[in-house]
Amino acid sequence: MSSTSYQIVMTESSKLYVEIEAPEHGWTHVKLKSGNSFYQFFPSDVPVDSISELAKAIVEILSVNKEATVYWNDEPVVHNFVFKIENEQCDFKVYEVFESIVGEKLIERFSFNGTKQEVLRPFWKALCDLKSKQSLEEYEAQWNNPFPAQEVVEIKHQLKSLKDL
């Protein structure tokens, strides 16, 4: 599958919207939107279970780590989701990764900055929506990996406690 993407400057007051389509035959469709900025790609389930890695990264960012990177394979394109926490703000960027003889080159394709709640809640919501689109058995058959149900519950609890502060 080929990657389709474009980037437009976003306004600061925009909300982040994340959608992960139900997987089919080892592929899914990821959409990110904020204001006038939109980015989408079609990653596969190999060599990494990126959906589970996303859920684990969010748990880590909400609990202990200040930075997490999630690798998505869009054959032949690779995308990295990078989350960084600084002064209670969460910076989220998507980079397209290019390999060359001289090393990796990262090109920023999408970015959003806000509170942990503003950045991470849309990903939790996308994971919950994804879970509702297929039975767990169908998800596993189509994505070749189990759904990260335990991590999604943990994200919910951590977001709730963050909101209660």
pTM, full prediction: 0.89
d(CA 68, CA 150): 19
pLDDT of residue 7: 45
Render pLDDT for 50-85 as a digit per residue (tens, 0 to 9): 999 999 999 999 998 999 999 999 988 899 999 999
The contacts of residue 99 (CB under 8 Å, 6+ apart) are 78
Render pLDDT for 1-29 as a digit per residue (tens, 0 to 9): 444 444 444 444 589 999 999 999 999 99
**Which domains does the chain possess?**
16-164 (3.30.2450)
pLDDT greater than 50 at residue 139: yes
pLDDT greater than 50 at residue 141: yes
